[in-house]
Every structure is written in structure tokens, then in C-alpha cells.
Amino acid sequence: MASRRRSKLGSSTKKKKTRKNKQSRKEKEKDQTFIDLPSDLLQLVISRLPLKDNIRASAVCKTWHEACVSLRVVHTSPWLIYFSKTDDSYELYDPSMQKTYNLHFPELSGFRVCYSKDGWLLMYNANSYQLLFFNPFTRDHIPVPPLWMAYDQRMAFSCAPTSTSCLLFTVSSVTWNYITIKKCCANAKEWKTFVFKNRLQRNFNTFEQIVFSNGVFYCLTNTGCLPLFDPSLNSWNVLPGRPPKRPGSNGCFMTEHQGEIFLIYMYRHMNPTVLKLDLTSFEWAERKTLGGLTIYASALCSESRAEQQKQSGIRNCLCLSVFHGFKRTCIYYKVDEESEICFKWKKQNPYENIWIMPPLNLIDLPVFDQRI
């Protein structure tokens, strides 16, 4: 009998303890806040915050501060700017956060974009022949000496116009015998002209891409010829050989990363081909991977970034602007994984959009407080 009583007492005390433990757990769960999130869940939440919200969240507590700082991305990815055909409205799209900003720049009425680099746009007015550098994040602008440009004429610049080494470049005229080059410093009052003998193939039509790298301007023609203009020597040379271009190409993008030149040919009924220029032999070689790079491609110029450290895993990708339904957005094509579905590319108006690098102090600019 005594043993039975002891067992009943023991079981009742155990039940009381379990009840107390359950009650204490429920009370603790009631008292829990976002500060008590597990570290892996906290990092997942913070990794999805834009830079502005990341900085705000870092002020919550010490744990959040450490998590925010460890995940804070200082070197942001490029943004895409869309240009309206009818008015002075513009859209800035941040693909990393999938957010769009509506802006109005009446001072750019009648202008079209020519190039983008280091957070600056080069704009051209076909009516007045006026050229200017424009920063859409600060609305600063720097005038450039006027110059007549054909509709399909390409122009590029070497670095931000706030730098004393900034140089503008364009191929202004191509005849059967001669090629006319023009260059201009950002603070100059007139353009300098250079005339060279035309050594391009006779089936040449237009220049499609211009990229500044290694101190020279690489100029790609629609037939695959690649002349170089060295502004320090004022020399013009055509490299031997042409990139392997498959039939049916309907566009191309060229960019550079740390001195390496990449070329992507697009097709309507097949996947893109990626080529890299050997700077020793000056021959193009096809590549199956971008080596961790992500290339943000647009018709007038493209940006490249090393994205190996990003948790999103967006690397070895070609990022392109597309229309999805009635919405402008971006798609990522994985270069190192052949897609089973054919990647179909539709050529776009080159002046509709362009990639641009946002400034690091973007959070201090009130113009971007409004999102849609």
C-alpha cells in the first residue's frame, strides 16, 4: 500500500512540474519579441532589408547591430533607369530589392541617353546638339561642348566627369576612305578631331559598342571588327580576327571587368554566347562561365560586378531588362548552366533604358523616400 501511495504522489508531483514548465514556457513565449529571434532567422530577415532600413534596424540592440553590420552591402548593384518617350518622367528600378522609384526631370526634356558610368549619364539633345552630364541621384549637371550626332552614333566617356581625367570619345564620321574621331575633356570648350585611314572591312555598317578599359577605347562594329583608340597617343588600330558569331544574332553587349573584355551575342532562337578577349593574342574565346561575375547588360553600355560574396547567389548571370506582362522587370540568365528552355531575346530600342550605379550615400538623398 505504501509503495502505491508513493508512486501516486510521484506521478502527481511530476504532473505539477510539467504543468508549471508548460505555463512558464507560455509566459516566456508571450514575453518574446523580435529581439529574441534565432540568429539564423534574424539574418534571413535582415538580408532582405534595403540599406536604409538595415541602418535603422542596427539601432535596435547590440545583437541586431552585429547582424546588420555583418550583412550590410556597401557595394550595391547597378540600377536600371527607364526613359519615357512622351514626357519628362523616369523610372529607377533596383533589381536587388525589386523596387521602383518614379522621378521627374523637366530639365532633360528633349534629351536622349548616350552612355552611363560611375553614377553619371551622358545626355544628348538632337534639336540643339547640346550635350551634358547628368546625375539622376543628385540632379547635378555638367555641360559639354555641343556636337552633332547621328541617331545610331555611339559615344562613351572614361570616368566620372568630376574627375580631371574624364575623357569623352566618339566616332563621328565613317567614309569609304577615312574615319573621323572626336575626343573632348569634361572641362574643355571644344572637341578635338582626328582623321585616320579606314582599314575596316567594306561590309562595315555601324559601331555597336564602345568600352573604355586599360586606358583605351574598344570599339566594336556590327561585323565584329574591334578597333582601339588610344587617347594618350591619339592612335587608331584595328585588331586582327573577329569573334565567332553564330547566324541569327539580333544584338550584342560588351563590358569590361578589371581590364578583361567580355562580349555577349544574343539570339532570337538560341541561348546567348559569351566571349572573352585574350589581351595577349587579341583572340576571342567562348566561355561557359563568367567566373562569378554578373553582367548587367543594356544596349548602350553594360556593368559588371563580382557577386561571389552575395547571399542571393546571383553570380555567373546575365541580367537583362524585359517586359513581363505590362510590368518592367529584370531576368537573370545563368551562364554556367545551359537552360533546357531556349532563351529567346527580343531586340529593344537602345534608348529605352540603361544601367547606372547608385551612390553609396543614397540614404541621404530625400528624392528617394517615395517608392512604388
SS (H, E, C) 47-87: CCCCHHHHHHHCCCCHHHHHHHHHHCCCCCCCEEEEECCCC
Confidence of residue 369 (pLDDT cuts 50, 70, 90): very low
* 359 pLDDT more than 90: no
Strands 293-297 and 317-324: parallel
Q: Are 126 and 149 in contact (CB under 8 A)?
A: yes
What pLDDT is recorded for position 112? 95
* 97 pLDDT more than 90: no
* 331 pLDDT more than 90: no
* 372 pLDDT more than 90: no
Confidence of residue 371 (pLDDT cuts 50, 70, 90): very low
**Secondary structure class of 271 (helix, strand, coil):** coil
In this structure, of 284-293, 314-323, 329-338, the range with the lowest mean pLDDT score is: 329-338
Burial of 14 (0-12, 13-18, 19+ CB in 10 A): exposed
* 153 pLDDT more than 80: yes
Give the cell for residue 270.
538560341
| Phi, psi for residue 266 in degrees, rounded to 5 | -105, 150
Give the span between the Cα atoms of 361 and 51, in whole angstroms. Answer: 10
Q: What is the pLDDT of residues 102-142, one digit of tens each?
A: 888 999 999 999 999 999 999 999 999 999 999 999 999 99
Sheet hosting strand 327-334, strand order edge to edge: 303-306, 293-297, 317-324, 327-334
Burial of 60 (0-12, 13-18, 19+ CB in 10 A): middle
Closest by alpha carbon to 363, among 49, 44, 90? 49
- The proportion of the chain whose per-residue pLDDT surpasses 90, expressed as a percent, equals 45
Confidence of residue 361 (pLDDT cuts 50, 70, 90): low
* 18-27, 60-69, 196-205, 305-314 — most confident range: 196-205
Q: What is the pLDDT of residues 243-263, one digit of tens each?
A: 888 888 888 999 999 999 999
